[in-house]
Amino acid sequence: IDPRTGKSSASPSVQHELNQNGSLPEHWEARTLPDGRVYYIDHFNKKTTWTHPRIAEPVHIKRKRSTVPHSRDYEEKYRLFRSHLPRPEAHVGPQIELHINRKDIVESSFRAIMSIKDVEVLKTRLWIVFDGEQGLDYDRLSREWFLILSREIFNPYYGFFEYSALDNYALQINPLSGVFNEEHIKYFRFIGRIIAMTIYHEKLLEG
């Protein structure tokens, strides 16, 4: 049973695993890769595993994960990349003001960002206003907006992304995103703009 929809999504491979090892605990889901391998998602702890959660994982099948070594010149590469980003064109104003509903942050942000026809505007200074709240955005509110928004758009429950079967800490685009949202292509364009804005404005995202 998919804990997000309450509906059964078990493939023959998954059903065989469940018949062999019993039903899944609460908050768990089983999925099948294209090659037929079954993996399990723990939605509560946000991790994945190859082993049925009711079975202790044998030591001999634990997978060794390769880690990407830290690149010492990352900051230099980042500065070089940013130095090649074009500045806003002359006709664009000094800042952009975005009115955001904190209780509906994804939808209100989507409407605010995608209603902007001239993307050059997104390069200007951000001025975030949360509806019904008093406060001036001297960079603090824009940082908060990026962090809260990123938690939501990268949350697998939203349907745009899912946990990677090969890495407990990685996300990948959900191939079934269209099932969760018919306008998923527009939302991926929106997410692309948000990621570009974080790079341009030197903000942080939280996945």
Contact 113, 100 (CB under 8 A): no
Superfamily (CATH) of domain 74-201: Hect, E3 ligase catalytic domains (3.90.1750.10)
Specify the CATH number of the domain 12-61.
Answer: 2.20.70.10
**CB-based burial label for 145 (10 Å; 0-12, 13-18, 19+):** buried
Q: What was the pLDDT predicted at 17?
A: 55
Instruction: Based on DSSP, count helices (H) and strands (E) in the chain, helices before strands.
Output: 6, 7
The answer to whether 147 and 116 are in contact (CB under 8 A) is no
Return the pLDDT at 60. Answer: 41
Q: What is the mean pLDDT of residues 35-49?
A: 80
Delimiting residues of CATH 3.90.1750.10 domain(s) in the chain: 74-201
Residue type for 193, please? Answer: R
129-157, pLDDT tens digit by residue?
999 887 666 678 888 999 999 999 998 88
Tokens of 130: 């949360």
User: Confidence band (pLDDT; 50, 70, 90) for 88?
Assistant: low
- Give the model's confidence band at 57: pLDDT under 50 very low, under 70 low, under 90 confident, else very high: very low
- 163 forms bridges with which residues in the sheet? 171
d(CA 33, CA 17): 14
The whole-number pLDDT of residue 110 equals 96
Nearest to 157 by CA among 33, 41, 73, 22: 41
pTM of the entire predicted model:
0.58
Model confidence band, residue 38 (pLDDT cutoffs 50, 70, 90): confident
Q: What's the whole-number mean pLDDT along residues 21-50?
A: 79
For residue 104, pLDDT beyond 60:
yes
pLDDT, residue 36, reads: 77
Domain with CATH 2.20.70.10 in the chain: 12-61
Q: Taking residues 56-74, what's their average pLDDT?
A: 47
Q: Nearest-CA neighbor of 187 among 205, 152, 160?
A: 160
CB atoms within 10 A of CB 38: 20
